[in-house]
Amino acid sequence: MNIEESFLKYFGCAPSRVYRAPARINLIGEHLDYNGGTVLPAAISLYIDAAVSLRNDSKIKVYSLNTNNGFEVNLEEIKKDSKYEWANYVFGVFYILLREGYKIPKGLNILISSEIPLGSGLSSSAALLVLITHLTSEIFKLGLLPIEVVKVAKKVENNYLGLKSGIMDQASIALAKENCCLLLNCDKLEYKHIPLDLGDYTFVVLKTNVPRSLVSSKYNERVEECQKGLELIQKKMNVNNLCEISVLKLERVRELISDDVIYSRVKHVITEQNRVYEFTKALEKKDISKLGELLNESHKSLKEDYEVSGQYLDAIQIAAIHAGAIGARMTGAGFGGCAIALIKKDSFTRFREEVLNEYFNLTKLHADVLEVDIVDGPHKL
């Protein structure tokens, strides 16, 4: 049963339109977005779809084919409630838009179907937020530009859901462009598209099949540790955020931070920011070897300095290198989820088999290795 047939079954009418938004990977620049940094994500060909029809009342009714449950709420009565489960992400968009003064004269029926694995580090939640914001803007002619879609989605996460997330995930999806990655300054919201022309090479997604277990506690813990480090540095250095600090000043930073754990977190942020700039230069030069070296360095830093990888991400990264990847690293917040690897296109079949075998030998779990394309942002089908 396709999404239109499912919509007819659950809502008793045909959808008027269907919208789609992609997942994302972060090529490099992990845990920089909430530190005012510049990151390098790209949208990939794993999608979440939403079939929609207008209602004659003020209800928002949503149903998910993935969870096989649905919820409804009146527009004027929206508030966060644990009973709404995943639908809080949907309802939160309408809550924020109404508070921002946008007119939503009628309710909607929305049926959601996603192929983005939950808890995978591929931003399924950000994809849902961007998708609902985008389709609501189009249907009610709110005129939101892509960057405004990003801001609304972030407000839902921060102000409605209470998550201390940065802006990278929403931006990497809403601003995505086919065959390009997004060089995004998360502090100033300045960005440009960088062509991703790798010739005979490609990025693949390595799925550990261990859901991210963050997570909220560990993620927020890292945010707080970085803030502590910044406060210590600001007593002697005039900086607005950690990502402003050059790697050449690491010795000075070490003098200002006596706590080894706090210093390690700060060290990761500063060195990772430098890796983003080096990675961008290597992309422009098509220096595949340098790209691989930077991917491996990034994973090592996330493992040892930031301590967010864990045994499963480490295992799949090691398996990828042993199978011939030029470089590999975890992507996303960590603590489970996915990694990415840079490989030769014509080696995919052998690479996949070797990674699956070694990962199973190391963990007794079955992984997935996915071929993906770099794609556009949200759009109507």
Contact 209, 368 (CB under 8 A): yes
Catalytic residue among 49, 169, 305, 314: 169
Give the number of other CB atoms < 10 A from CB of residue 212. Answer: 23
Contact 97, 152 (CB under 8 A): yes
- What gap in Å lies between CA 113 and CA 29, rounded to an integer? 30
Is 169 one of the annotated active-site residues of the chain?
Answer: yes
The residue with tokens 């510049």 is 38
- The per-residue DSSP string of 275-333 comes to HHHHHHHHHHHT-HHHHHHHHHHHHHHHHHTS----HHHHHHHHHHHHTT-SEEEEESS
* Amino acid type, 286: K
Residue whose C-alpha is closest to residue 33's, from 129, 126, 133: 126
Q: Would you call 268 helix, strand, or coil by DSSP?
A: helix
**Cα distance between the two ends of the chain:** 17
Name residues whose C-beta falls within 8 Å of residue 298's C-beta, 6 or more positions apart in sequence: 28, 30, 272, 275, 329
Instruction: Region of 329 please: left (phi>0), alpha (psi -120 to 50) or beta.
Output: beta
- What gap in Å lies between CA 38 and CA 41, rounded to an integer? 10
C-alpha gyration radius of the chain: 21
Name residues whose C-beta falls within 8 Å of residue 331's C-beta, 6 or more positions apart in sequence: 25, 26, 27, 30, 121, 122, 205, 337, 338, 339, 340
- Return the active site residues: 169
